[in-house]
Each structure stands twice: as C-alpha cells, then as structure tokens.
C-alpha cells in the first residue's frame, strides 16, 4: 500500500453571504444565513457543529448538489452552478453501487473521455492508495464498512479533485477504524495537496485533520438560521500527535463553544 496520492491542482473555495432557506412564506425554514468563508487552495477546513446546524447543507452547496437561496458559492473564482466537476464528495455512507466490484465502483468516479488504459491504471492506483488493491474484484457486500468507505474515498480521489468534500465520512465507522481513516485522509491530503472541506461533529477529528476549524452554530434568535460562530486556527504542522497538550486545551475550548462545559474535579 502506498499512501501517496497524485498531486492535484488545488483550488480555493469562496462563500459570500450565503443563505439557504427551505420552503417559502410562513413555512420557510432558514437553515443558513450570511455565511462568509474563504478557503485557500490546499487548505483543510473543518466545519464543526452539532447535528442539524446546517453543516451538511453547506457542503452540498459547495458540491453543487444544492443551490443557495442567497449569496454566492465559488470554486477557483467561478460560480458553482450545478454539479461541480472540480469537486468530489465522500458521504457518511459509502454509497457504493452493489452490482459493481470495488474497482468498478472506483471507476465510477472517473470523468468521461479518459482512454481505457489510463482509466484502468488510475483505478488501480486509487485502490492502491487506500490499501484495497487485493480486493479490487470484491463486491461491496463482501467487505467491511471501513473497506467500503475507503473505496468511496478512492472513488473521489480518482477524479483528482481540486477540492475534496467530506461529509462526516468517518461517523459510521467503529472508533479504531475511524482513527486509521483519519490518518489515511491526512496522508492523502498532504501528498495530493487538495483543498479539503470536512464536515464533522467530532472535535478531536477536526483538531487532528484541519488547518482551521470553523464552528457553525444556530444564532441566539431562533429561526434566524446558523452562522459562523467561531473560527480557530489550529497550531502545529500535520501529522499531529493525538496526545499534544495544546490540542487538549483547544478541545476543551471548542467543546465549550458547542455547549459541552468542562467537568472539573471537585
């Protein structure tokens, strides 16, 4: 297994005064309001927040799976309009096509027009970078949840995306597999140089993987939607030591901002 992904042309992501309101009139439900965010090319930004705060909605706007009701989302200066070819999404569930082998599922991520031989080598390389080369011919039902999610990651990487969008990709995995996946994504990001937007509700995960943590939270005024409540630059170069006391202090601070106060020994 080689965890060195091919270098990609990383691109910046810009959100300007982005709103997302579901429904209209009296039934209108404001999810996001006035989101301003600049993600530099090659930067890893974690969108941290409690369940239902709209962080996945925000990611879907960047992916072009959804459209903002106000403001503008741009990738590399160009407005996102429909599915964004420079972005690749990994969802919380692997979402593999059950009738395809792992290799065929990875090939699903390839853009059109590539020659057959380059397609095959790109798929083999992507499977190799996530350590699944020996399982290329397996079907999704025959592999574990962690392997399925690694396949989903390979499907995204094979596009060589300028921006990688991760929507709680480790949330459904067991604790140990989750830590291994975090390290894998960290390695792959550093070797590929891609811009990464990571949606998570896991404070440790955000501190481990991100250059910057953006806390998304509902505004005090109910019905006004979520906004960016806090931005934190995570110190130290990656890969980071999970036992770093600086991270432990930041962890307490972030948890406090998410409404989980610290327990002090009496």
Partner 1 sequence: MTVTDPDTEARADPTSPARRPGPRRLGGVRRLGGAVLLGLLVPVLFVLGWQLLATSGEFSPSQLPTPGAVLAALVELVTRGELWQHIGISTQRVLLGFAAGAGSGLVLGGVIGLSRPARALLAPSIQALRAVPSLAWVPLLLLWLGIGETPKITLVAIGAFFPVYTTVSAALAHVDRHLVEVGRAYGRTGVRLFVQVQLPAIAPAALSGLRLGLAQGWLFLVAAELIASSIGLGFLLIDSQNTGRTDILLLAIVLLAVLGKITDGILGLAERRLLRRWN
Interacting residues with partner 1 (CB under 8 A): 63, 65, 83, 85, 88-89, 91, 93, 95, 97-99, 108-109, 111-112, 139, 141, 155, 159
Choice between 56 and 208, CB closer to partner 1? 56
Considering beta carbons, is residue 195 or 208 the nearer one to partner 1? 195
Task: Write down the least CB distance from residue 27 to partner 1, Å.
Answer: 20
Q: Under a CB-based contact definition with an 8 Å cutoff, are residues 163 and 194 in contact?
A: yes
Cβ-based nearer residue to partner 1, 100 or 180: 100
CA 194, distance to chain mean position in Å, is 11
CB of 99 to partner 1, least distance (A): 5
Q: Is residue 182 packed enough to be buried (19+ CB in 10 Å), middle (13-18) or exposed (0-12)?
A: buried
Residue with Cβ nearer partner 1 (88 or 232): 88
> Which tokens belong to 223?
């019905």
Rounded Cα gap, residues 244 and 204, in angstroms: 11
What single-letter DSSP state applies at residue 10?
-
Shortest separation between residue 201's beta carbon and partner 1, angstroms: 20
Give the CA dihedral 39, 200, 2, 7, nearest 10 degrees. -10
Min dist. Cβ of residue 10 to partner 1 (A): 20
What value does the CA radius of gyration of the chain take, rounded to a whole number of Å? 19
Nearer to partner 1, 91 or 135 (CB): 91
């Amino acid at each position: 297994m080689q965890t060195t992904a091919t270098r990609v042309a990383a691109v910046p992501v810009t959100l300007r005064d982005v709103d997302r309101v579901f429904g209209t009139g009296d039934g209108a439900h404001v999810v996001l309001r006035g989101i301003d965010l600049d993600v530099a090319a090659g930067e890893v930004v974690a969108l941290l927040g409690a369940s239902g705060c709209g962080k996945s909605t925000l990611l879907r706007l960047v992916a072009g799976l959804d459209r903002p009701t106000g403001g503008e989302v741009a990738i590399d200066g160009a407005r996102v309009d429909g599915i964004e070819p420079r972005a690749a999404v990994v969802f919380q569930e692997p979402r593999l096509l059950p009738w395809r082998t792992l290799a065929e599922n990875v090939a699903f991520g390839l853009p059109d027009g590539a020659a057959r031989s380059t397609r095959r080598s790109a798929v083999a390389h992507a499977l190799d970078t996530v350590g699944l080369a020996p399982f290329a011919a397996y079907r999704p039902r025959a592999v574990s949840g962690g392997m399925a999610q690694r396949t989903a990651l390979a499907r995204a990487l094979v596009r060589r995306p300028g921006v990688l969008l991760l929507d709680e990709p480790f949330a459904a995995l067991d604790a140990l597999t989750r830590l291994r996946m975090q390290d894998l994504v960290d390695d792959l990001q550093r070797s590929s140089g891609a811009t990464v937007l990571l949606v998570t509700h896991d404070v440790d995960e955000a501190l481990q993987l991100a250059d910057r943590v953006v806390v998304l939270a509902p505004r005090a005024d109910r019905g006004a939607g979520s906004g960016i409540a806090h931005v934190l630059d995570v110190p130290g170069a990656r890969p980071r030591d999970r036992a770093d006391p600086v991270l432990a202090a930041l962890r307490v601070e972030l948890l406090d901002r998410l409404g989980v106060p610290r327990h002090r020994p009496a």
